[in-house]
Amino acid sequence: MFSRFFSLFGGLAAVTFAASSALAPEALAASRDQVFFQSVSGIWKGPGEIVAGKYKGTKFTCHLTGEPAPGGETGMKLDGTCRVGVFKQPMSAVITHNGKGYQGKFLDGAEGKGLDIISGSVSGDKVVMGINRAKLNGAMVASLRGDNKMNITISVKVEDQMVPVIGLTLDRDMDSIAVGSIR
- Assign residue 161 the CATH number of its domain: 2.40.128.20
State residue 44's pLDDT score.
94
State residue 12's pLDDT score.
35
Residue 152 lies in a domain: yes
Residue 178 lies in a domain: no
Residue 180 lies in a domain: no
| Cβ 116 vs Cβ 109: under 8 Å | yes
Residue 105 lies in a domain: yes
Q: What gap in Å lies between CA 132 and CA 138, rounded to an integer?
A: 6
Residue 181 lies in a domain: no
Q: What is the dihedral of CA 44, 125, 135, 111, to 10 degrees?
A: -50
Please list the rounded mean pLDDT of every run of 10 residues in the chain (183 residues): 42 28 42 85 94 93 92 89 93 89 91 92 92 92 91 93 94 71 49
Q: What is the dihedral of CA 102, 106, 112, 118, to 10 degrees?
A: -20
State residue 70's pLDDT score.
82
Residue 39 lies in a domain: yes
Residue 136 lies in a domain: yes
Model's pTM, two decimal places? 0.78
CA distances from 52 to 28, 70, 88 (A): 39, 34, 21
Give tens-digit pLDDT for 90-99. 999 999 998 8
State residue 30's pLDDT score.
54
Single-letter code of the amino acid located at 7: S
State residue 93's pLDDT score.
92
Per the structure, the count of domains in the chain is 1
Residue 179 lies in a domain: no
Q: What gap in Å lies between CA 111 and CA 22, rounded to an integer?
A: 41
- In a 3-state reduction of DSSP, which class is residue 117? strand
Domain that holds residue 157: 2-172
- The distance of Cα 80 from the centroid of its chain, to the nearest Å, equals 12
